[in-house]
Amino acid sequence: MAMEALRSLAALIDHFHETARWAGTLALLEWDERTGMPSGGAEQRAQQISDLSVLIHRRRVDRCVIDWLDELQEAESRGSLRDAIPAGSLSRIREDHEKAVRLPESLVGALAKATTMGQRSWGEAKERKDCTSFLPVLAEIVELKKEEADLRRVEGMSRYGALLDLFEEGADAEQLGKLFYRLQSYWSGKIDHLAEATKERPRRWSTVEVGIERQRALNHWIANHIGFDFQRGRLDETSHPFCTTLGPHDHRILTRYDRNDWTSGFYSTLHEAGHGIYEQGLATRWHGLPAGSATSLGIHESLSRFWENVIGRSEGFWRGVFPEMRDWLPPEFQSANPGDLALEVNRVEPSCIRVEADETTYNLHIALRMELESKLIEGSLRVEDLPAAWNEAYARYLGVTPAHDGEGVLQDIHWSAGLFGYFPTYALGNLIAAQWLEAMESSLGPMEKILEKQEFGLLVEWFRNHVFPKGRCLTSSQLVEEVTGKPIQPFAWNGYLEKKWAEPLKSFRG
Amino acid sequence: MAMEALRSLAALIDHFHETARWAGTLALLEWDERTGMPSGGAEQRAQQISDLSVLIHRRRVDRCVIDWLDELQEAESRGSLRDAIPAGSLSRIREDHEKAVRLPESLVGALAKATTMGQRSWGEAKERKDCTSFLPVLAEIVELKKEEADLRRVEGMSRYGALLDLFEEGADAEQLGKLFYRLQSYWSGKIDHLAEATKERPRRWSTVEVGIERQRALNHWIANHIGFDFQRGRLDETSHPFCTTLGPHDHRILTRYDRNDWTSGFYSTLHEAGHGIYEQGLATRWHGLPAGSATSLGIHESLSRFWENVIGRSEGFWRGVFPEMRDWLPPEFQSANPGDLALEVNRVEPSCIRVEADETTYNLHIALRMELESKLIEGSLRVEDLPAAWNEAYARYLGVTPAHDGEGVLQDIHWSAGLFGYFPTYALGNLIAAQWLEAMESSLGPMEKILEKQEFGLLVEWFRNHVFPKGRCLTSSQLVEEVTGKPIQPFAWNGYLEKKWAEPLKSFRG
């Protein structure tokens, strides 16, 4: 490679590494905001986040990036960059630049500020279980997001599609809507039946009171056990669990605790650890560049939902971990057996809360959110009518009605953070997780056997070999196709659930 | 005021407010580094701190600042800025700018990186109680600080004096050295006698084991009780307690816990809360400008040492708080009485550890550090010879020898953070704290009476009225002179200690 191209490439990579460091600082400002920043700090924090978002935006739209890319074009077309930077990186960087320049700095700053204050306002409203004070704040965020969507959308893309593209590049909003509708039709009749079967088995173990200190130790243990590296990460507490990356070797997962249901924090830890294991498995050398970034949110959720559900709710998992795990729980668990626990964490109960929903009803929570958020963004639903629309949708999709806004429209932080178009990635994650399972079993053998031996390292290694290396150099559908030989589709998921529910569904069909 | 001057002033103030927000972000990076950042994050964190230090430095040396000041000069000389910005602000800003431009960006970045990695290396070495691995890191920091000092020093200033000036503007290193020597001569003979008297009273209450959760609750309670506002702050844990400001309404204090000596965390909480109360009392409107900044480190330490010792070790304090405080401690404290506790926390024991030193021997720990650090900076002591020099100095000043480097040369974080010239401000703080006490009593009456009634609010109010309002628009000596009518001098301090030790010293003199 020519000296000049080498210099341009080094400059380009340095630029992205530095941008990633600023992004890591931004992530810390947000992490701190959600782990215990004094309430008095809110206003300044919003301003700090806005300042830094603008700085990062400036680096993303920096004309230098295009100049370097142009200087590299010839070398790339000759194929002489092949060993210097992973294939697909440069075209991704060019696309990202094209997308970023569409947004004016003023909008970036305004969005950062509005969503930081929005999350705080949401938190306060949720505490009060009343969304009145939050709605005008949300209305402002929706207006800004509409503005953003209008600037981002290209030919043939809906406003909502332009926001979905932020999390799942290349996904088609309309097709996704249809996919979710098919899933809903397929499962809605069966759900009633499974819920009936669940009612016959009252809760026994998840309701045993477990002290917070004990839960902390348990969750630390399980996250570490499945492969989350605490030399490069930590586990904290917050009101709405998440995972965030502060640097190539600093990944933080957050959970929450409920004295009266230890499984809630346990499963959100498994979920966030799944995200964390993904982030910790990305190529640190390319941190901040496409090859070192997560493919998409859908792929991210496929990892989190995989560990939370496909693994964490399987009987093999419980048979494997429980003999050891018992010692982290109160003494009465000595008389529990893995089979009972596996059954109990697989209750099918249409309910109001997404994050506590079972796997089978979960996608309905997503489909209804997608319906509502696309209407908000397209303008056919006003924010002031959202609470009523929420309750109506819950009755329609799941046959339940929230007792108050706290377990209704205020349950999720996403919209207050400006995350419209994010929810569908959870359901996509479910489908993809089942596709990973299928592919894994065909090369590693039956999962139950692996889990009984607690060989979690095998699974992490499989992901490291197949899913993590390409980063964002592929889209999610390209990656899934490459790894599983099939496009993203619901068959593996339906098969996975049907296998799980073979017994109760037999009587349903018969 | 002319429209143009008004615009320049607004631009100047905005510029400083934004710089303060970046400084707050930097403080968060450091706070996080010291409260539980995963070890893997160290390298990136050092780079982030360096990036941000350079950004802040660029804002500090920005030529705009001088242009605005020049545009304001006429309005200021006509006196028409009198109501717009506190007197002295603009000249302070000009001086700061002149000092900042002397440092090249490369040195600022290198220092930030070296000291961030330095603190980590120090932490690891301290853990191992062996300074071998830390010495080369420290040597690099010393070289950079020498370079900084050479750039900063003006006519008639020693290298060490140039560093001292960073923390205590206007202080004279040589005079300060003499002052400490006088103090040492005055107290060294008496100390042996007081230590003898101490030996007759074995510890009884400080050695009672108190669980960490209980200590946390106790310390939260006492910090809040004396006036630290938890709406605008928080209390966390770290290995070397400190206080940091993240914004005008976000002040964080950090302490550490020892199961076997609850008074250690208790007094470091009082100390840091004293710093926090000062920061929380500064003019938020002028946050990041001289009028909203602490006068000097000496004044800062006068606040922390005031609450820790003058208040926290007085009998009146214990008589006031103990009846309530008893309930935060284990049951056996029901039989304790305030007088015994006051006596126990006033033991005089020459020891190896500065932060655990009693008030009377404390200044010796400072004098010896000042001796060593000024030699390091002036070049008459090599870093490799420091551990031996440290032990020799401890034997000479205090008659004790550290068992290992952990309680010897590694006990303080300061040098690893590049803080040379900081230590003398602790002893200055002691002297000034006694001067505050004298001034307070002459307007509020005997302190013992106030403390017995737990009227801490009166003291905070006195500080808010007299000490906090001027910020950095005065130097520490100007402020002390203005508030107490006297320069910074050792008489109030000697009088304060002599009153405390009247009984045991009587027999000594006789």
Q: Does B269 touch chain A (CB under 8 A)?
A: no
**Residues near B415 by Cβ (< 8 Å), separated by ≥ 6?**
B122, B138, B141, B142, B373
Identify from A21, A49, A120 which residue to disrupt to test chain B contact, counting B C-beta atoms within 10 A and taking the largest count.
A21
Compute the nearest-CA separation of B47 from chain A (Å).
8
Q: Given an 8 Å threshold on Cβ–Cβ distance, is A249 in contact with B38?
A: yes
- pLDDT at position A510 is 39
Q: Which amino acid is at A353?
A: I
> How many Å apart are CA B249 and CA B264, to the nearest integer?
28
Residue A505: per-residue pLDDT: 76
**HSE, side-chain direction, 13 A CA sphere, residue A376:** 28
Size (chain B), residues: 510
Residue in the structure block whose two tokens are 């002489």: A80
Lowest mean pLDDT among B185-189, B225-229, B288-292, B374-378: B185-189
Which among A28, A44, A233 has CB closest to B29? A28
Provide the shortest C-alpha distance from residue B290 to chain A (in Å): 19
Q: What's the pLDDT tens digit per position in A16-29?
A: 999 999 999 999 99
Beta bridge partners of residue A247, listed in sequence order: A250
Q: Encode pLDDT of B251-301 as tens digits.
A: 999 999 999 999 999 999 999 999 999 999 999 999 999 999 999 999 999
The whole-number average pLDDT for the span B194-206 is: 91
Average pLDDT over residues A165-193: 91
pLDDT of residue B506: 75
Strands lying side by side in the sheet with A250-255: A233-237, A250-255, A243-247
- Which pLDDT value is given to residue A386? 98
Residues of chain B found within 8 Å of residue A250, distances taken between Cβ atoms: 37-38, 40-41, 44-45
Q: How far apart are CA A202 and CA B130, in angstroms?
A: 59
Residues pairing with A491 in the sheet:
none
Q: Which residues pair with B247 in a beta bridge?
A: B250
Considering only CB atoms, which chain B residues are within 8 Å of A116? none
Yes or no: say if B233 and B253 are a contact pair by the CB < 8 Å rule.
Answer: yes
CA distances from B11 to B64, B65, B68, B71, B78 (A): 9, 9, 8, 11, 20
For position B357, what pLDDT does the model report?
92
Tally of residues, chain A = 510
Residue-wise pLDDT for B317-332, tens only, equals 999 999 999 999 999 9
* pLDDT value of residue A19: 98
Our CA-based measurement puts residue B26 at a distance from the nearest CA of chain A, in whole angstroms, of 9
What is the average pLDDT across A131-154? 97
Beta carbons within 10 angstroms of residue A175's beta carbon:
9
Residue A418 has pLDDT above 90, yes or no: yes
Where would I find the H helices in B282-358? 297-305, 315-325, 338-344
Other Cβ atoms less than 10 A from the Cβ of B192: the count is: 13
What's the first-to-final CA gap in chain A, in angstroms? 69
Residue whose structure tokens are 């802040």:
B56
Measure the CA–CA gap between B195 and B508, rounded to whole angstroms.
Answer: 12
Quote the pLDDT of residue A188: 83
The pLDDT assigned to A391 comes to 97
How far is the C-alpha of B171 from the C-alpha of B297, rounded, in Å? 11
Q: What is the CA radius of gyration of chain A?
A: 23
Options B30, B168, B272, B452, the catalytic residue: B272
What local confidence, expressed as pLDDT, does residue B244 receive? Answer: 98
From the list B303, B293, B299, B302, the residue with the least C-alpha distance to B273 is B303
The pLDDT of residue B4 is 87
Output the CA angle B31-B35-B40, nearest 5 degrees: 100
Q: Which of B38, B44, B251 sits opposite A230 (nearest CB)?
A: B38
Residue A65: count other Cβ atoms within 10 Å of its Cβ: 22
What residues have CB less than 8 Å from A47, skipping those under 6 apart?
A113, B21
The 10s digit of each residue's pLDDT in B449-491 is 999 999 999 999 999 999 999 999 999 999 999 999 999 999 9
| A129 backbone φψ class: left, alpha, beta (φ>0; ψ -120 to 50) | left
Return the DSSP state at A415: G
Mean pLDDT across A40-53: 95
Contact yes or no for B24 and A249 at CB 8 A: no
* pLDDT, tens digit (0-9, with 9 covering 90-100), for A365-379: 999 999 999 999 999
Residue tagged 């003898």 (tokens) = B196
Q: How many CB atoms lie within 10 A of CB A56?
A: 19
Please report which confidence band the pLDDT of residue B505 belongs to, taking 50, 70 and 90 as the band edges.
confident
**Residues A76-90: pLDDT tens digits?**
999 889 899 999 999
CA distance B335 to B345: 17
Tokens, residue A278: 């993904």
- Going by pLDDT thresholds of 50, 70 and 90, the confidence category of residue A3 is confident
Instruction: Quote the CA–CA distance of B329 and B322 in Å, as a whole number.
Output: 10
Residue A197 has pLDDT above 80, yes or no: yes
What pLDDT was estimated at residue B510?
39
- CA angle, residues B336, B340, B345, in degrees to nearest 5: 115
Residue of B nearest to A232 (CA): B40
Average pLDDT (B296-314) is: 97
Tell me if residue B255 falls in helix, strand or coil. strand
Rounded Cα distance, B431 and B429, in Å = 5
Catalytic residue selected from A169, A272, A359, A438: A272
Of A269-283, B79-93, B135-149, give the lowest mean pLDDT range. B79-93
Q: Quick one: pLDDT band at residue B502, thresholds 50, 70, 90? A: confident
Q: Please determine, for residue B509, whether its predicted confidence score (pLDDT) is greater than 60.
A: no
Contacts A–B by Cβ distance under 8 A: 95
Angle between helical axes of B159-167 and B173-199 (0-180°, round to 10): 70
Count of CB atoms situated within 10 Å of the CB of B348? 23
Mean of the per-residue pLDDT values for chain A?
A: 95
Average of per-residue pLDDT across B233-251? 96
CA distance A289 to chain B (A): 16
Quick one: pLDDT band at residue A94, thresholds 50, 70, 90? very high
Is some CB atom of chain A closer than 8 A to the CB atom of B214? no
**Percent with pLDDT over 70 in chain A:** 99
| Banded pLDDT at A314 (limits 50, 70, 90) | very high
Spatial strand order in the sheet of B233-237: B233-237, B250-255, B243-247
Q: Which residues contact B231 (CB under 8 A, 6 or more apart)?
A: A38, A39, A40, B249
pLDDT computed for residue A129 by the predictor: 96
Structure tokens at A315: 């009987």
Residue B232: list chain A partners with CB under 8 A: 38, 40-41
Looking at residue A209, what is its pLDDT? 97
Mean pLDDT of A33-55: 94
Query: Do the interacting molecules here have an ipTM over 0.90?
Result: yes
- Whether A143 is a known active-site residue: answer no
The CA distance from B246 to the nearest CA of chain A, in Å, is: 8
Q: What is the 3-state secondary structure (H, E, C) of A55-73?
A: HHHHHHCCHHHHHHHHHHH
Q: Minimal Cα distance from A22: which residue of B?
A: B48
Is-above-0.90 flag for pTM? Answer: yes
Looking at residue B434, what is its pLDDT? 98
Which among A29, A32, A246 has CB closest to B41? A246
